[in-house]
Amino acid sequence: MSFDFKLPDLGEGITEVELRRWLVTAGDTVREHQPLLEVETDKAVVEVPSPREGVVERLHRKEGETVQVGEVLLSIAEGKPELQQQPQQPPQSPPRPASVGIVGSLPEAEEEPVETAIEAAPFAPPASVEVLATPMVRRLARERGIDLGTIKGSGPRGCIRPEDLETVAAAPSGAGPEERVPLRGLRRTIARNVTASQRTTAFVTSMEEVDITEIFEMRTREQGEVESRGTHLTFLPFFIKAVQHALKEHPLLNASIDDETQELVLKRHYHFGLAVDTPEGLMVPVIRDVDKKSIIELAQAVQELGRKARERSITLEELKGSSFTITNYGHFGGTFATPIINWPDVAIMGFGRIVERPWVHRGEITIRKILPLSLTFDHRATDGADAARFLGKVLRYLEDPALLFLDCG
């Protein structure tokens, strides 16, 4: 008996995934709960296990394709694997259609070249077959001068999606050489999320500069001690702690907005999303309970989550539930920026490159370590005055890091 295994609901509101890699091939014997394939969701790479034991009859989708929840991934001939693999007698009656063939039986000789010819031929749907596409896709195709009849859709039943148009859009007349690269996997997820954030939030960015010479000196003094414990101490744990302390006095920025109920959800916890650059794009793992962690514990969490994000071994649980977001673009040489809010959070703090600058300190002009700051907030959650006071509070903690240790929270 053949069982069609469909992409299950992976939770977190995920509706589609990219098939990253098959872990089995047709003819393989599989056990229940054995990983069958790797898929890339909006946030992580996930292995999908087999719900039953049997023999793989057919893989219905190719690596790199986008698969919707509920679409068939592969067919499994159920039953005891040893019975599935018994050699079978050649059919005495006319052969059945290929769609109901049994694993282990050989296809008819005349079928193989037909299948090969179909795979090699360019896609050209019969004139009598209606092209499946939404009104929006049809409008985009008209605007770009694209014939939908020449496109093989990647959606259910061959439905043409907007991204399918990107791969075939004709170059403008007189344009030079160009290459079109489909947005896939994490890059596509980032594009979708930042667009949704910009479309949904009323974002405003405020910028400041702060003298962090004392933090610089403190880090230099304690680096050896921290490294003896197996952890590298960066400036980021100090920045995180300063923001957490300031948020205690400005709770409107440690929040999210429920757009359906039009409610501001104030978070009574401090779970910070940390923007991490990976070879495949930006990921935002979450450091939980920042208020309960010491500087060293934060340094350990930053190091571990960064490693997991870059190796794509991070779990979905570690990528959700932030109440505020931190991004350290100064690590790559940036100074000021306008960070995009990690929706549904209402604020994100960006830290630029530390530079030596002439600065007035205790009435004298001297060379100090100066850090640029950028705060982007959702104006629906609070006003500029509150955001400015919050930013000023962060500056105070960074200028005088001893204040961070007067309150253990």
- CA distance linking residue 353 with residue 183, whole number of Å: 30
Half-sphere exposure of 264 (CA within 13 A, CB side): 14
Tell me the C-alpha distance between 273 and 266, whole Å.
Answer: 16
> Crossing angle, helix 236-249 and helix 384-399, to 10 degrees?
130
Cβ(138)–Cβ(132) below 8 Å:
no
Cβ atoms 45, 186 nearer than 8 A: no
Burial pattern 334-355, b for ≥16 Cβ within 10 A else e, equals: bebbebbbbbbbbbbbbbbbbe
Decide if 256 contacts 250 (C-beta within 8 A): no
Query: Tell me, what DSSP letter sits at residue 374?
Result: E
What phi, psi does 280 have (nearest 5°)?
A: -105, 0
Parallel/antiparallel/unpaired status of strands 272-274 and 324-327: parallel
Asked whether the beta carbons of 67 and 60 are under 8 A apart, the reply is no
| Catalytic-residue membership of 379 | yes
Catalytic residue among 33, 232, 269, 379: 379
Residue type, 248: K
What burial class does residue 73 get, using C-beta atoms within 10 Å of its C-beta: 0-12 exposed, 13-18 middle, 19+ buried?
A: buried
Distance CA(194)–CA(15), nearest Å, equals 18
Number of H helices, E strands in the chain: 9, 19
Contacts of 239 (CB under 8 A, 6+ apart): 326, 328, 349, 351, 398
Look-up of token digits 């757009």? 259
Strand-pair category, 324-327 with 347-351? parallel
State the catalytic residues. 379
